[in-house]
Structures are given as C-alpha cells and as structure tokens.
Amino acid sequence: MIPRLKSTSALCILILVLACQTKSKDKEVESTSAFEQPNILWLVVEDMGPYIPSFGDSTVFTPNLSKLASEGIRYTHVFSPSGVCAPSRAAIATGMYPTSIGASHMRTHSYTEVTGLPPYEAIPPPQVKMFSELLRSEGYFCTNNAKNDYQFKAPVTAWDQNAKNGHWRNRNPEQPFFSIFNIGVTHESGLFEPYEREEVIPKDTPFPIPPYLPDTEVVRHDLWKMYNNIALMDRQVGEILEQLEADGLLESTIIFFYADHGGPLPRQKRLVYDSGLNVPMIIRFPDKSHAGTSNDQLISFIDFAPTMLTLTGQTPPEHLQGQTFMGDQQPRQYIHGAADRFDGVTDAIRAVRDQRFKYVRNYRPEQGNYLANTYRERIPTMQELLRMRDNGQLNETQMLWFSESKPKEELYDCVNDPHEINNLVQNPEYAQKLQELSSEMDRWLAEIGDQPNLPERELIDQLWQGANEQPVTAKPVLIQVDNEITMECKTEGASIGYRIMGDDPATPWKIYTAPFKVQNGTQLEIEAHRIGFKPSEVIQFQVSF
C-alpha cells in the first residue's frame, strides 16, 4: 500500500506546483490563471469489475489503461454502494448514501406500469448540492458527456455543458475544467444479441470462468463479448487521452478512471457481492506522483465528492456522508452497500465490508436470491443458466443463486473466498467478526436514517411529506435597485440559475451567488431548482432604470 498524501499542506503543495509560473527576474511574479486550480478529467466506464491487466486480469490487452496505471495510482478497494448505475451516480453526485436520500430503487422515475407507483425523484436534505455546482461556483468549467442517471433531474446550475458535445475544449482557455466522459461500450447491453461489434480479441482466448457460472459455449461466448468490449473501451480511453495531450493539458490535469459498479454478467450486476460493487480505479497526477503503485484503502463512491472538493481547494461541507481519501483523514474501516428494487422486482439487502470480511443482511429471506429481470434475461448467459437450472444441470455452487429462500445473514471471507460462495455465519470461529459487522451495520443504518424494507409507497410519502404529488420549487423573486439585481427563492436549498436572453441558447446558465450589476435593457431568464423538486417556472425579466 502506498502512503496517502500525509497532510492538507502536502495536498496544497500538489496544487501549488500546478499553480505557480514565474516570470523572469525583472518582471513581476505572476500566476497563470489556467493553472491556479488543477484540471480534472473523469473517464467513467459502465458495468466493469477489475478485469484489466493493471488489476491482475491479463485476459485482454489494454495498452492505454496499462500506461495510465504505470503513470498513476491503482486503487484496488473501491466500492459502489449499489450494484447498478442510477443509485451509484446519486452517491457520486451528492456524496450521500442512496438509501439515505430516497435514491436506492432503480430507477425512481421508471417502471411505474409495473410498480403502480408515481414517478418520483430522490430528495436529499436542502443543503445538498451536486458537487459539480460547487466546482462551478469556484470558477470551474464543468461538462458531462453525457450520462444523467442521478435519480433526480440535474439543476441547470449543475453543469456548463451536459450533453454529448460536452468537452473541455468549449471553455475559456483560462478556465480550469472538470470534464466527465461516460464510455458505454462495456455496458450489460453490450452482451445482447445480435452482437455486431468489431472483433478485437480472438474468440478462442481462454477466459476465466467464475464458479457461479457454467463452463459452456454460450458462457464463453459472452465472456468473449465482455472482454472484447473492454478492448474497445480501451481504444476510446486512448482517444480522449490523445486529445488531452494534443491540447497541452496532460501535465495540468488530474485523471480519474473508474467503473460505475461491478461486472455485467449474471450474479455480478445488481448484487451486493464484490462482483457487483468492486470497481477498478486509477488516478494519474500531473507530476506522476506514486506512479505505478497501488493503494488498498477502502473507498466508497460517497467519498468522491469530498475528495474532489479537497483537490480543488475547497473545504467539504459537513453534511456530506463521505470523506476525502486524500489528505490527513483516517482511512475507512468499512464500506457499505445496498440492494432494493431493480426495475420491476424488489428485494431489501444491506451489506458491510472491511478489508477482509463482508456481512450481508437479508430483510426478505423468504425470497430467493434470484429475482427475474427481463432486461438481464436478454443476456444469453442468463438464458443458459435458466435452461440448465430447469434441466437440473447446474452444480451446487451455481444453484446457490437459485435457492427458493436465503439466509437472514451471510458472512464471507473475501480474501480466501473472493466469489463469496461459503457462508461462514454458522462457523463459531467467526462469531466475533459476525457480531462486529452486524453492530457496524446497525450503527450505519441509524446514522443515515436508512429504513430497510420500507415499502416504496411509504418512502414516496416521506419524501413528499404526505403530499399527493412531487413538490415544486418556488418561483424565484427578482429585486432590482438601480442597476443591481438580487434574487431570492422561498424554497430552502434551491439553487438559482440565470442567463441573458439573446445569448446563444447553448450559453451555460450562471449560478446566482450574490447581487450583480447589469446594463439597462438586459433581458434575463431565471429558474430555481431544489434537487428532487420540480424546477420552478422559468421567469423572464427586462432590466429598466
């Protein structure tokens, strides 16, 4: 394990190295604004566990990621709080556990014809903002290209650009940027048939088959697709990094690479086992700090927001449930995960993991582990599993997932049993560890206000405070005194965005933070929005004095 940055001052040194450029002695010492804060680039892939050479799986060659890892730090114990994308992105965007803000059901605005529930959005406490908005408030140009599964609608104040054309190249060159590129080629849907993508790796490549899957031609073909998609993804990563280097920005940019949750195959995605939660992460610093090393501290997705704020010189708000994994903060002792509704089927599972052991608590033990999911059943391997199950062809390990009920508690040694097959709950040798992790789960649930197995209808009632429909952000109020404009909104926690009418429609909305002066005749467009509420009516105002 490599050392973390040992103190806040060490982190500041990293930023100052980027910040200061000195003129010749006979000129005033100046700082170049483009480097006062580090640029940050996120390369985010979908549905991928640590299936690349840098993390010990050499099935497929990934030259771009291997180079990135050789110049950066490999984080080996990074975990999503959910085995599916929308709750995971809610955690990343807010620094809050999905189960604490009503974001744990996949997806909150869909599957209403199955659930009979109204579409709704997660509603975090009023002080919670998307961290990209906090970066924008400090001068960052923020782009998202272009996944938006947050379990709530992003306010207009969250991004400068939030579309497929979002790119750091669209900013003022003097402005630091935070840019996300979402790469979807590794998504679960990439296993569906017909599969018509370029063949990058040979089909006769030997693939590692986890013990919970049968070794059949169908499974091996899906594994080929999975690894072939990873090879295609690596190319896309390389193309983005080439753009960064061509723009002369490689050595002023902190690069993050990670996946939004674990793997795409059955008994991976949607589950709280490591196969569903553990992801690879690489961070490359401009000075190649700790190049080629690995770091095994436990990291949760809720830690991303406070870490990003720390890297950009801000103090993370106290309400964040995550913690920075850089600086002088003590490393995590535990990470936590959850599984609730996935599409049209609902379960209630919570998990806690330390460096070695994982504890799982099932709140619906009367339900089997496997719950039918029509989207997942489009994967040939899932169809193969169901066929072999019905024909009695699966072995004991492969049948575990199809048991008619499940134990109330599970305990696994994730080091010696990485596929989490052997439940140690009844083994007296591990009674103390069982008690420790069970107590930690109780503490966590109480701390974040999680109510496992709460009917989703009751969750909606709580989020809407008994109302019959989603709350609406109050219309912003504009106050003009001479040429100075002040904006207010009665909805606690609402962000106010504004822009000048007549500008290019693609012009980003600005974040209102303080009164500002305008010219006579200026026409303004204004919207207020609290996360989880419907945005306010957009008002238009012409300045006259």
Q: What distance lies between CA 372 and its chain's CA centroid? A: 25
Cα–Cα dist 478/126, whole Å: 21
DSSP string, 263-325: -SSTTTTTSSSHHHHEEEEEEE-TT-TTTTEEE---EEGGGHHHHHHHHTTPPPPTT-SS--S
3-state percent helix, strand, coil for the chain, nearest multiple of 5:
30, 20, 50
Active site residue 85: yes
Backbone phi, then psi, for 434, in 5-degree steps? -60, -45
Prior bond of 146 cis (ω within 30°) = yes
Partnered with residue 498 across adjacent β-strands are 510, 526
Q: How many CA atoms lie within 13 A of 245 on its CB side?
A: 7
The answer to whether the beta carbons of residues 512 and 498 sit under 8 Å apart is yes
Cα within 13 Å of Cα(61), Cβ side:
5
Q: Position 428: which residue type?
A: P
Residue 524, φ and ψ in degrees, nearest 5:
-110, 145
Q: How far apart are CA 470 and CA 411, in angstroms?
A: 40
Q: Are 346 and 339 in contact (CB under 8 A)?
A: no
Catalytic residue among 85, 142, 414, 489: 85
Q: Rounded distance, CA 7 to CA 160, Å? A: 32
CA–CA gap between residue 162 and residue 158 (Å, rounded): 9
Sheet arrangement for strand 510-511: 510-511, 495-500, 523-529, 539-542
Report the distance separating Cα 189 and Cα 227, nearest Å: 14
In the chain, the amino acid numbered 542 is Q
Find all residues with CB under 8 Å of 484, minimum gap 6, and list them. 515, 516, 517, 518
Active site amino acids: 85
